[in-house]
């Protein structure tokens, strides 16, 4: 495996930080370097009339259910009296805003744009559970008047209810082709509705707020990533759930790019840091990064439990059926230390005792070993994620 090898000057800089300010400061430098995306602010606005599913959509895009801590309150009546920001649980700088709909006594057409200040948002998602009404179209036209190329998405919610309603009163069970035809009809109706309001080439998406794998929910996530500015793209990719293979591949590319920097820090810790535990000093750095891989790829036990519930299978059965083992290695320090010990050891040699270059050679050897471990573990996680996605698709298709 090729990776950027730490230079003499970098080694001395890392060593200086370690010796002058300690191991914690070295970890803080690593955090600042590889997790700078957490400091980038992204604001997504969700608006529409009451009853359109704004709150449940906001919860879904944040990976939450209605009864989770910090979830938006789901109600059939308008509860949004003023713009309210909801932090993403994995990145508080990614905020999803619940905006009041236009046309209430508090937010009239005359004061809406001033009160809401749409200029602060990277995206506006306009929701409707039927057709987009006069106030929706007015707002959309005002947004596009201010910024013709603005990231404005039209989201048609509760498409699942439309499909269920179309089955009522019929003897014949609708086929997949019938349901696809109905979806296209809904999409066409939305487009015609908007074109009557002089809105053309609109970005239209159909969603079921409670099923992110169905309809266009995953497409919205992909479009958010594509359309956000280049500087904000990594923050968007790393914050949102990997609900499509496209998003997973983007996550994997970013995670691979972190290996060189993390391996440098781990290598310097291995050579120069004095560990306060029975484990080598590099263990803490490597364990945290490997746990981060699992969290980013939806393999942490909390995410797996949600998936198991959704496809109505016991989590233990899911783990066995898909041979998911990555959680075993990172369960605790003992197990990870044992996993680490299975990789090629750095054995002392004559070169390592040389006064000027000995430590540098040891650092490079450790960096190679640490990088190999992380690459190997990431490969395991990538395979498990792919297997999980395939199994979910098959289980949902058969349900």
| Mean pLDDT computed over every residue of the chain | 85
Q: What token pair was written down for 312?
A: 């109505």
Lowest mean pLDDT among 158-167, 309-318, 376-385: 158-167
Count of the separate structural domains present in the chain: 2
Owning domain of residue 394: 8-34+249-398
Q: 152-156 and 203-206: which strand pairing?
A: parallel
Prediction pTM value: 0.79
Highest-confidence segment of 114-128, 153-167, 236-250: 114-128
74 & 205 share domain: yes
Q: Quick one: 219 and 316 in the same domain?
A: no
Verify that 265 and 360 share a domain, yes or no. yes
Whether 23 and 62 map to the same domain: the answer is no
- CB-based contact 220:153 (threshold 8 Å): yes
Q: Tokens 């190329």: give the residue.
A: 149
352-364 per-position pLDDT tens digit: 555 566 677 888 8
- pLDDT at 152 exceeding the cut of 60: yes
Is 12 found in the same domain as 153? no
What does the pLDDT look like over 259-273, one tens digit per residue?
999 999 999 888 888
pLDDT of residue 198: 93
Beta bridge partners of 48: 127
> Would 1 be classed as within a structural domain?
no
Residue 3 has pLDDT above 80, yes or no: no
Judgement on whether residues 368 and 386 belong to the same structural domain of the protein: yes
48 and 28 co-located in one domain: no
Q: What is the pLDDT of residue 127?
A: 95
Task: Supply 83's token pair.
Answer: 């713009």
Taking only the tens place, the pLDDT of each residue in 9-25 is 777 788 888 888 888 88
Instruction: Please give the pLDDT value at position 75.
Output: 67
- 223: domain CATH number is 3.40.50.300
Q: In this structure, how many other beta carbons lie within 10 angstroms of the beta carbon of residue 350? A: 7
The pLDDT tens digits of the residues spanning 222-274 come to 888 988 888 899 999 998 876 678 888 999 999 999 999 999 999 988 888 87
**Burial of 168 from C-beta contacts in 10 A (0-12 / 13-18 / 19+):** exposed
Same domain, 164 and 266: no
Tens digits of per-residue pLDDT, 46-73?
Answer: 999 888 989 999 998 888 878 888 888 8
Closest by Cα among 258, 300, 265, 295 to 283: 265
Q: What is the strand order of the sheet 91-98 is part of?
A: 84-88, 91-98, 42-48, 123-128, 152-156, 203-206
Do residues 256 and 393 touch, judged by C-beta distance below 8 A? Answer: no
Instruction: Give the end of a domain, one of 187, 212, 240.
Output: 240
- Dihedral class, residue 51 (left if φ above 0, else alpha if ψ from -120 to 50, else beta): left
Picking from 216, 240, 264, the residue at the C-terminal end of a domain is: 240
Report the C-alpha gap between 183 and 208 in whole angstroms. 12
């Amino acid at each position: 495996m090729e990776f950027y090898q730490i230079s003499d000057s970098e080694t001395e800089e890392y060593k200086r930080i370690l010796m002058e300010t300690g191991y914690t400061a070295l970890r803080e430098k690593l955090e600042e370097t590889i997790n700078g995306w957490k400091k980038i602010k992204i604001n997504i606005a969700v608006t529409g009339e009451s009853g359109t599913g704004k709150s449940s959509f906001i919860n879904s895009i944040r990976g939450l259910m209605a009864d989770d801590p910090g979830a938006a309150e789901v109600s059939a009546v308008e509860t949004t009296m003023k713009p309210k920001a909801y932090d993403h649980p994995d990145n508080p700088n990614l905020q999803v805003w619940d905006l009041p709909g236009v046309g209430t006594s508090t937010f009239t057409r005359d004061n809406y744009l001033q009160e809401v200040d749409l200029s602060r948002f990277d995206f506006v998602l306009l929701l409707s559970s039927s057709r987009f009404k006069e106030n929706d179209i007015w707002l959309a036209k005002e947004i596009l008047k201010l910024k013709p190329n603005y990231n404005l998405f039209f989201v048609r919610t509760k498409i699942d209810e439309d499909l269920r309603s179309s089955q009522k009163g019929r003897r014949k069970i609708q086929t997949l082709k019938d349901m696809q035809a109905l979806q296209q009809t809904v999409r066409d109706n939305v487009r015609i509705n908007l074109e009557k309001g002089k809105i053309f080439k609109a970005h239209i998406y159909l969603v079921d707020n409670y099923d992110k794998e169905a309809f266009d929910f995953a497409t919205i996530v992909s479009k958010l990533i594509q359309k956000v500015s280049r500087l904000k793209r990594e923050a968007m990719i790393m914050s949102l759930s990997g609900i499509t293979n496209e998003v997973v591949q983007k996550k994997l590319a970013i995670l691979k790019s972190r290996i060189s920097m993390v391996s440098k820090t781990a290598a310097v810790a291995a050579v120069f840091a004095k560990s306060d535990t029975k484990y080598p000093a590099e263990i803490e750095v490597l364990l945290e990064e490997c746990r981060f891989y699992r969290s980013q790829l939806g393999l942490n036990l909390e995410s797996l439990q949600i998936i198991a519930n959704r496809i109505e299978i016991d989590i233990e059965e899911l783990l066995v059926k898909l041979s998911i083992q990555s959680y075993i290695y990172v369960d605790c320090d003992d197990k990870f230390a044992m996993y680490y010990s299975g990789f090629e050891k750095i054995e002392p040699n004559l070169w390592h005792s040389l006064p000027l270059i000995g430590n540098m050679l040891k650092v490079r050897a450790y960096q190679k070993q640490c990088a190999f471990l992380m690459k190997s573990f990431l490969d395991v996680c990538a395979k498990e994620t792919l297997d999980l996605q395939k199994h979910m698709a098959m289980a949902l298709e058969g349900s």
